[in-house]
Amino acid sequence: MLLSPELTALLYLVAAVCFILALKGLGSPKTARRGNLIGAFGAVLAMVVVFLSTELDNVALILGVIAVGTIIAVPASRMVKMTQMPQLVALFNGVGGGAAALVALLELQHSTTIGAFIAVAFTLLIGSISFSGSVITFLKLQELMPTRPIVFPGQALVIVLLLVVGLASAVIIVLDDAVLVGLGLAGAKTVAAIVALLVGLVLGVLLVLPVGGADVPIVISLLNAGTGLAVAASGLVLSNTLLLVAGTLVGASGSILTREMAKAMGRSVTGTLFGAFRGGSTAGSTAVSDRPVRSSSAEDVAILLGYAQRIIVVPGYGLAVAQAQHTMAELATTLEAKGIEVVFGIHPVAGRMPGHLNVLLAEANVPYEVLAEMDEVNPQFKNADVALVVGANDVVNPAAKTSPGSPIYGMPILDVAAARQVVFLKRSMRPGFAGIENDLLYEPQTTLLFGDAKDSLTKVLTAVKNL
Amino acid sequence: MDAITLLTFFVLSVFVGFEVVSKVSSTLHTPLMSGANAIHGIILVGAVIVAGQAESTLVLVVALVAVLMATINLVGGFVVTDRMLTMFGGRPKAPAREEAAQ
């Protein structure tokens, strides 16, 4: 016996509320895990309900495939390194978008209303863009392909042509059958749907290729929002309110996050996507200045740190690349044991996805209370004895405030220049990703320690212990 | 369901989404992305319906591919988010409660 439509709707409502609570739980690290478990409960509930409320054939087969998917997904999620989290999120996002596009393709024949046809066309295009775009993002992050922006001559023109073809097939999908017969296009809907799917796939590739490595966080977030909206639209196709609500929630949250990321990088979302076409979005001078800097030894840095009272650590992508989060955490604990106050000031776009550095430091058992957001930590720099910048550059570059001509002008930065002493752990004098020189490196209060972040931190840690 | 009701759902969900997410601290943006990512894996519901109502083998095969992809999205998303969130421990003075996860 099947569940009644009323009970089904009611249980879907419960699942939708669970999803809202899952997002709400993320308001604080204390409630986040419970929230996520509530969300997972909502998902399980929804799955039970769909099997109990719908007339389904092939149930054993479907359950078998779900089991296979679970067997693939669980070990992948359990074993992935935290530094590889952005890739995994991109991949999960991609398969979700792909699933939405396939569902829309198959639902085309059952659709009757104009609204449903519009939703099918939308899901086909956006879902397949999400799929292939996420795959390219994954390949870039996994460094299976070059991370630099890839542009070929005529790329913009090809994208425009594809958009035209995509829109044309969307129109055919939406048009009434009678009109199509009149135009001599009877039965063209299925062909148009497949064309839309293929156009979406190629568009996803072409749109993500020109995005440079540092802008990838924004793109993951944008594609996430896209998949959400595609799922919401497939909710319209299937008249399923749960899909509609869940997809819309994700679409809305992804849009907000994308905007915040872009703001934190001082970039516009369109600039991120299309900047490479205009040239110069990620370009900059790679010239190395020969002005004198104060380079120092690990022992000297250890003395600076060991005799400070307040230290603010500013970790950047270099810390993640060097896998130095555990050494960094140990250094912080060692310093705290000496009665020194250590706080981590984290720029919103440090790492390879929004909030990535927070996850890496959390993995290394740094308590979340000492992970401070930018707005919270900036007023504290003037009271800090040492600002220790590990593998970060652009996010502490005062040029973002002082030189209007600079490509990063307007980007919010961490105010490390206000600290009494600034210590940079850097691999070399090469400018950061934006390719702009950092004047702070030449200031008298600045000390530099060159080398791989992990090596440098290990040496500093040993020296601090020997103080 | 009529179009206006669906539109109502959509508009209200947009506002709920904006409202809830604007309160998330940037410390948790990565789990937020992966958590939101897990939630859109609920497309599995749609994939199951399509697979269960398939009238031809071709449709069934394509639908099962969708089921597989959606399952990976849904299950993987929640598992990896949970794994990340267990790392966000507070100060050691409050020892983490052992949850009966299994």
What is the DSSP code string of A172-217?
HHHS-HHHHHHTT-TTHHHHHHHHHHHHHHHHHHHHHTT--GGGHH
pLDDT at A260: 83
**Pair (A4, A91) in one structural domain:** no
A362 in contact with B at a CB cutoff of 8 Å? yes
Residue in chain A closest to B78 (alpha carbons) equals A40
pLDDT at B98: 42
pLDDT band at A286 (very low <50, low <70, confident <90, very high): very low
Which residue of A106, A346, A375 is the best one to mutate when testing the B interface, meaning the one whose CB has the most B CBs within 10 A?
A106
| Phi, psi angles (nearest 5°) of residue A218 | -65, -40
In a domain, A285, yes or no: no
Report CA-CA distances (Å) from B91 to A36, A380, A401, A454, B31. Answer: 21, 21, 35, 25, 20
Segment A422-434, tens digit of pLDDT: 999 988 777 665 6
Of A48, A79, A110, which residue is a domain's last? Answer: A79
Q: B31 vs A28: CB contact, 8 Å cut-off?
A: no
Residue B102 pLDDT > 60, yes or no?
no
Tokens of B80: 């990896």
**Which residues in chain A have their CB less than 8 angstroms from residue B3's CB?**
113, 115
CA atoms in the 13 A half-sphere facing the CB of A45: 21
Would you say A196 and A62 are in contact if contact means Cβ atoms under 8 Å apart?
A: no
Q: B41 vs A43: CB contact, 8 Å cut-off?
A: yes
pTM, entire model: 0.86
pLDDT at A432: 61
Segment A199-221, tens digit of pLDDT: 999 999 999 998 876 677 788 89
Segment A233-262, tens digit of pLDDT: 999 999 899 999 999 999 999 998 888 888
In a domain, A400, yes or no: yes
Segment B25-53, tens digit of pLDDT: 888 889 999 999 999 999 999 999 999 99
A103: nearest CB among B25, B43, B92: B43
**Pair (A222, A306) in one structural domain:** no
In a domain, A284, yes or no: no
Q: B13 vs A356: CB contact, 8 Å cut-off?
A: no
**Pair (A223, A370) in one structural domain:** no
**Pair (A254, A336) in one structural domain:** no
**Pair (A74, A93) in one structural domain:** no
Distance to chain A for B12, nearest Cα, Å = 9
Residue in chain B closest to A57 (alpha carbons) equals B52
pLDDT band at B96 (very low <50, low <70, confident <90, very high): very low
pLDDT at B100: 42
**Pair (A38, A164) in one structural domain:** no
Would you say A187 and A114 are in contact if contact means Cβ atoms under 8 Å apart?
A: no
Q: Mean pLDDT over residues A282-287, rounded?
A: 44
Which residue of A2, A3, A17, A23 is the best one to mutate when testing the B interface, meaning the one whose CB has the most B CBs within 10 A?
A23
**Which residues in chain A have their CB less than 8 angstroms from residue B43's CB?**
96, 99-100, 103, 231, 234, 243, 247
Segment A138-166, tens digit of pLDDT: 998 888 888 778 888 888 899 999 999 99
pLDDT at A106: 95
**Pair (A128, A238) in one structural domain:** yes
In a domain, A369, yes or no: yes
Task: Residue B31: name the closest of A242, A259, A88, A344 by CA.
Answer: A88
pLDDT at B61: 96
**Pair (A315, A440) in one structural domain:** yes
Q: Mean pLDDT over residues B55-77, rounded?
A: 96
Distance to chain A for B82, nearest Cα, Å = 6
Residue A143 vs residue B12, higher pLDDT: B12
Q: Which residues are CB-neighbours of A278 under 8 A, at least 6 positions away? A: none
Q: B29 vs A354: CB contact, 8 Å cut-off?
A: yes
Segment A374-424, tens digit of pLDDT: 889 999 999 999 999 998 888 888 888 887 877 777 788 899 999 999 999
**Pair (A41, A126) in one structural domain:** no
Element (H, E) at A315: strand A310-315
**Pair (A175, A62) in one structural domain:** no
- CA A174/CA A118 separation, integer angstroms: 6
Task: Look at the block and give the residue holding tokens 């775009």.
Answer: A133
Beta-bridge partners for A310: A341
CATH code of the domain covering residue A319: 3.40.50.1220
Distance to chain A for B3, nearest Cα, Å = 7
CB pairs under 8 A between A and B: 361
% of chain A with per-residue pLDDT over 90: 56
Residue in chain B closest to A348 (alpha carbons) equals B26
Q: Which domain holds residue A19?
A: 1-79
pLDDT band at A278 (very low <50, low <70, confident <90, very high): low
Report the number of distinct structural domains present in chain A. 3
